[in-house]
Amino acid sequence: MSFQLSDEQRAIREAVRDFGANEIRPVAREHDEEKKYPEDLIEQAAEYDLIAPGIEEEYGGAGMDLLSSVLVTEELWRADPGIGSAIGSRGFGTSMIGKFGDDWMKEEWLPKVAAGEIATCSCISEPAHGSNVAGIETSAEKDGDEWVIDGNKTWITNGTVADLAVVMAKTDPGAGHRGMSAFLVPTDVEGFEPTKIDNKLGIRASDLAEIMLDDVRIPEGNVIGEVDQGFYQLMNFFADGRTSVAAQAVGAAQAAVDESIDYAGEREQGGQVIGEYQAIQHKIAEMATNVEAARSLTYRAASHVENGDEQEAAKFASMAKLFASERSVEVADEGIQVHGGAGYVTDPPAERLYRDARITKIYEGTSEIQKNIISDQLL
């Protein structure tokens, strides 16, 4: 199946690529080494419509379809996965607000996100519950005209920089996945306590935190969608999220190919540049082929998600996430091999890309979980 980008999509890709080359790449190493959140780039990214590009135009967003958003993600990660993650995750949780939130939620918060004025986070994972979303233990109990939320969330992207959180909690603890609800929680409320996680292997420019929710009180009107329907609402975005991670993996892998090609054309050994040796040529050929295959599968997944076929979307999104993430780590590893000893130190980006690519095999459902999903669709 061939995917022909529209003129508008090609323009989006080129604009993000230029932004990445001119603004992100020159500061990527600095942000990685200092574990620094790229606050200085957020305003510029917003001007390019790169902050939560799926937010509808009526709320100040770009209103991009999933394939266009995938192009944005891919190019941001191609420029640098850490900064790309920070920019690309700036609006985590806004899809839930946009699809199921009340009008006042959309009108109050979405324009601020799209403009880069605030960040959001999505609080789902817990210390004992990652891939098993239905097993979360954070609870929300009704007390008069308020909800009281208690629990512990972890691996929360934007946890210490977010102004607003979408928190998943059990409103009927005995009902399993049928008793989960989504809540809109401003992060400045009493009892919302984030703690930064800064000892990550990769994507160090992206913020990560553990969050304690201790007697957090919010108005009863802050339920997003319907009470006890949070899990079913969340299911609407699984395929989108996995397709986006596939795009991240493609971007990181393409960067590894780019760096390897550049290095092979500069590094001399035995009286010639190493790119003239067949062994190196074959490595780069295989790397590029794997990236292109992952890209095609990712674009196909985006197409199925957009077409609304839930079974095909679930299958292809998991296939894309599985294949792209696994190949991304392999390609980044080969990139280090092309660089030789230079790839094992921090001077070129090769080792950073290897560290950054590794996360794509874990979040939004591990590779093992994706295999379960794919087999469920086939058998």
Known catalytic membership, residue 74 = no
Q: Is 293 helix (H, G, I), strand (E, B) or coil?
A: helix
Tally of structural domains, the chain: 3
Residue 336 sits in a domain whose CATH number is 1.20.140.10
Nearest CA among 313, 296, 309 for reference residue 239:
313
With vertex at residue 126, the alpha carbon angle to CA 82 and CA 141, rounded to the nearest 5 degrees, is 130
Q: Are 367 and 325 in contact (CB under 8 A)?
A: yes
CATH code at position 12: 1.10.540.10
**What is the DSSP code string of 246-267?**
HHHHHHHHHHHHHHHHHHHTT-
Q: Is residue 170 part of a domain?
A: yes
pLDDT, residue 130, reads 81
Do 202 and 94 reside in the same domain of the chain? no
Of 114, 144, 174, the residue that ends a domain is 114
The SS3 of residue 17 is helix
Residue 1 lies in a domain: no
CA distance 134 to 157: 20
What is the three-class DSSP state of 106? helix
Domain membership of residue 174 (yes or no) is: yes
Query: What string of pLDDT tens digits covers the 379 residues of the chain?
Result: 566 899 999 999 999 999 999 999 999 999 999 999 999 999 999 999 999 999 999 999 999 999 999 999 999 999 999 999 999 999 999 999 999 999 999 999 999 999 999 999 999 999 998 878 888 999 999 999 999 999 999 999 999 999 999 999 999 998 988 999 999 999 999 999 999 999 999 999 999 999 999 999 999 999 999 999 999 999 999 999 999 999 999 999 999 999 999 999 999 999 999 999 999 999 999 999 999 999 999 999 999 999 988 899 999 999 999 999 999 999 999 999 999 999 999 999 999 999 999 999 999 999 999 999 999 999 9
- 57 & 96 share domain: yes
* Pairing mode, strands 268-269 and 223-224: unpaired
Which range marks the domain in which residue 271 is found?
Answer: 237-378
Active-site residue, selected from the candidate residues 75, 126, 326, 364: 364
DSSP class of residue 138 equals: -
Question: 296, 5 in Cβ contact below 8 A?
Answer: no
**Prediction pTM value:** 0.96
Is residue 200 in some structural domain? yes
